[in-house]
Amino acid sequence: MKIREIVPLLEAEVLCCEEDLDVEVCNACGSDMMSDVLAFVKDQTALLTGLVNPQVVRTAMMVDMRCIIFVRGKCPTPEMIALAEEGHIVLLATKLRMYEACGRLYVSHLAGGD
Amino acid sequence: MGDELRFHFNIDGDNFTSAGEASVEVKKKLRQLGFPPDVIRRVSIAMYEGEINMVIHARGGDADVLVYPDRIVIILEDHGPGIEDIDLAMQEGYSTAPDSVRALGFGAGMGLPNMKRYTEEMHVESTLGVGTKITMVVNVQ
């Protein structure tokens, strides 16, 4: 699935790296615990999280993720957006809660990764 | 020894926000050197977990990365409180981190297990009240 297709599915706002919306993601991971994310290493993963601090972006950088989706209306700081731009990571924000956001992606055939 | 490339970083223990900067830097350097993506990712994750640990538990420390053609060695050394029971600390889910750290997305007891998961060798030397030294090796296949 292209990141571009996630935007309408989650009624999301694109916060940065609009030029990378055609990047493909093959699976997704929903978590507020970054070490759990680091234990789950897959190529082309999108991260859904309600956590807002720069370590979310660094965690994504470490595992080569290209898309982070902030749920529950959480908004990343300008510092996080700058970091994401540096790492070419698309940041999306949705008002949906974690459960519903994950559910909508899952039924749209974005795998859980295992 | 002697033919390696060596990178040294001082990890600032007072700033959680900047934790991970050294790992990002190492990732960039390994990319420039042309290492395979899987090797780069394993080195970055292991070092990043170590860096976060040093900031959370030990008020920072020193990180050295030694790059050989066939392996990458990461040495993390701090002067923090030390690890009381290393076997226990290596178990997934065991953590002594306070709730304030969990609220930041870490301290779930996955740091050391993740470091072991992504490296071929990992040695932990720790003395209570003196500090901890962790040496990790990632082989280049």
Q: Which fold has domain A3-107?
A: 3.40.1390
Q: Does residue B126 have a pLDDT over 70?
A: yes
For all residues of chain B together, what is the average pLDDT?
94
Lowest mean pLDDT among A19-33, A41-55, A88-102, B42-56: A41-55
Q: Which residues from chain A sit within 8 angstroms of residue B115, using beta carbons?
A: none
Q: How many CA atoms lie within 13 A of B55 on its CB side?
A: 24
What average pLDDT does range B89-99 have in this prediction?
A: 92
Q: Are the beta carbons of A61 and B106 separated by less than 8 Å? A: no
Alpha helices in chain B (DSSP H): 21-32, 37-58, 86-89, 99-102, 111-117
Q: Are the beta carbons of A53 and B27 separated by less than 8 Å? A: no
Please enumerate in sequence order all residues whose Cβ is within 8 A of that of B83, keeping only pairs 6 or more positions apart, or say none.
B89, B124, B126, B132
Nearest residue, CB atoms, A53 vs list B24, B37, B105: B105
What average pLDDT does range A103-108 have in this prediction?
A: 96
Q: Residue A113's pLDDT is what? A: 63
Which value does ipTM take for this structure? 0.90
- How far is the C-alpha of B18 from the C-alpha of B136, rounded, in Å? 22
- How far is the C-alpha of A43 from the C-alpha of B122, rounded, in Å? 25
Query: Could you tell me the pLDDT band of residue A114, with boundaries at 50, 70 and 90?
Result: low
**Beta strand pairing status for A13-16 and B5-12?**
unpaired
For an interface test with B, the pick among A38, A42, A85 (most B C-beta atoms closer than 10 Å) comes out as A38
Smallest Cα distance from A50 to chain B, Å: 10
Q: Which residues from chain B sit within 8 angstroms of residue A63, using beta carbons?
A: 41, 45
Q: Residue A93's pLDDT is what? A: 98
CB-CB contact of A3 with A25 (8 Å) = yes
For an interface test with A, the pick among B18, B28, B45, B101 (most A C-beta atoms closer than 10 Å) comes out as B45
Paired with A67 in beta bridges are A46, A90
Please enumerate in sequence order all residues whose Cβ is within 8 A of that of A66, keeping only pairs 6 or more positions apart, or say none.
A3, A20, A23, A25, A44, A46, A88, A89, A90
Q: Residue B141's pLDDT is what? A: 80
Q: What are phi and psi of A105, to 5 degrees?
A: -70, -40
Q: Residue A67's pLDDT is what? A: 97
What average pLDDT does range B24-38 have in this prediction?
A: 96
Please name the residue of chain B whose CA is at the shortest distance from the CA of residue A77. B17
- How far is the C-alpha of A96 from the C-alpha of B23, rounded, in Å? 32
E-state strands within A12-96: 13-16, 27-30, 45-49, 67-70, 90-93
Q: Does residue A38 have a pLDDT over 90?
A: yes
Query: Could you tell me the pLDDT band of residue B71, with boundaries at 50, 70 and 90?
Result: very high
Q: Does residue B138 have a pLDDT over 70?
A: yes
Number of C-beta neighbours around residue B87 at 10 A? 9
Q: Does residue B128 have a pLDDT over 90?
A: yes
Q: Residue B2's pLDDT is what? A: 65
For an interface test with B, the pick among A34, A63, A65 (most B C-beta atoms closer than 10 Å) comes out as A34
Domain ranges of chain A: 3-107
Q: Residue B86's pLDDT is what? A: 95
Q: Does residue A48 have a pLDDT over 80?
A: yes
Q: Residue A46's pLDDT is what? A: 96
Tell me the domains of chain B and their CATH numbers.
5-83+113-139 (3.30.565.10)
Q: Residue B94's pLDDT is what? A: 93
Nearest residue, CB atoms, B17 vs list A35, A54, A59: A54
